[in-house]
Amino acid sequence: MSAIRSVWDEPRPADPPVRVWRDWVLVAVVVAGAMIEAVARSDVQGRWLELATVVVLAPTLLWRRTHPLATVVVAFVASTVPALVLGRDLAFASNVFMLVLAYALFRWGSGRAMVLGTAVVLAKMGANAALGFLTLADVGIGCLILGSTFALGLALRYRSGARRREREQVVLLERERLARDLHDVVGHHISAVAVRAQAGLAVSQTDPGAAADSLRVIEEQASLALAEMRMLVRVLRSDELRPAEGGGDRADEADELAPGPTLADVERLADPTTPRVEVDLEGDPARVSAAVGGAVQRIAQESVTNARRHARGATRITVRVTVGETSVRLRVSDDGGAPVPPSHGGYRHGGYGLAGMRERAALLGGTLDAGPDAAGWTVEAVLPISGAA
């Protein structure tokens, strides 16, 4: 009973695709096929009635994603009328378009839609068998074809759901890392404020000038901390970001407690081994906020790692960071030629590594693009020096 209830309560997949030009082409192909059959199959009695049935019902394909149950009910019930008039089941091969509706029922419908739609399809098949329009062999073959169609719809439905959940998990992990980086930055500023306040109190009676200097430093550090804290709040203002019950697993405690990376740490990516990594840092890293500098370093590190992993025969990876007046630009390129197709879509085909890097850049008000060039593969990111406005 619980299994039936879980199927009944299954929600519809979110955001079904809107109607596109391919749907109109599909309808046109079905109608054209029915017209060709009506002209060519002169041996079929009632062929013009069958043609009219296809022409009337084929447009239901346009609503198969948004109203899967309604289209199945309309097509399978309405097609029974000409069958009763002709005294036989419909013979046109173009009627196979109804299998597309059956597939869409399990691909885009809710649990109750799948149950009710299956009942309608089986009822039509049972009625045709009872009226003598179908033999037992026909019913068996029909059930096999319908079962395969339903299974295909379910398989693609759950595959798409699994990929969506995996992408969401990558985005959430990237947000958690960014929030931890910002937390480290804010903690640094608050520590500086506390130390300066203690120093100011210690000398306030004997050296008022030194106390005033401490107050100025406190004001500066507090302003920086407030800016970073606002950025942190924007990152955490997501209904999807929830801590796991019980605290979750901590794979590497040392990594969790280690200080966050800075823009200057990009130079540590240089490596003389093959493929050698060349790093060129232009401009003053001190002008870049700690959160943005940490994000640039992590994007550069991820890009270098994936270039080593996926670049085919790469001998050189170039990392170039340019600190401009208002933004910092990162460019990571390799000479690996055409990318190797990974087994799961992967980094070089819009996979989850790129999704995480794009999310990290977007949260700080920046952009990230990646794609092949004349020599190999290039990742380019541009972030504002002070983070998102």
Distance CA 214, CA 222 (A): 12
pLDDT at 2: 66
pLDDT at 258: 47
Apex 359 CA angle, 353 and 360, nearest 5: 95
Token pair listed for 335: 């000479």
Distance CA 82, CA 90 (A): 8
The SS3 call for residue 357 is helix
pLDDT at 251: 39
Q: Is the pTM of this model over 0.75?
A: no
Pairs from 163-171 (Cβ < 8 Å, separation ≥ 24): 166/352, 167/352, 167/355, 168/240, 170/352, 170/353, 170/355, 170/356, 170/359, 171/355, 171/356, 171/359
Burial 21-38 (b: 16+ CB within 10 A, else e): eebeebbeebbebbeebb
Cβ contact 331:320 at 8 Å = yes
pLDDT at 259: 54
Provide the CA 339 distance to its chain's centre, in angstroms: 21
Distance CA 29, CA 25 (A): 6
Nearest to 278 by CA among 321, 313, 340, 327: 321
Token pair listed for 97: 């378009």
Distance CA 11, CA 209 (A): 68
Per-residue pLDDT 10s for the chain (389 aa) are 666 677 787 888 877 888 888 999 999 999 999 999 999 988 888 889 999 999 999 999 999 999 999 999 999 999 998 989 988 888 888 899 999 999 999 999 988 999 999 999 999 999 989 988 888 998 899 899 999 999 999 999 888 888 888 877 877 777 777 666 666 666 666 766 777 777 777 777 788 787 778 777 777 777 777 766 666 666 555 544 444 344 444 434 444 444 567 888 899 888 887 788 999 999 988 888 888 888 898 899 888 888 887 877 888 999 999 999 999 999 999 988 655 544 444 444 445 567 778 888 888 889 999 988 887 899 999 999 987 65
Strand order in the sheet with 327-334: 276-282, 316-323, 327-334, 377-384, 367-372
Distance CA 73, CA 290 (A): 60
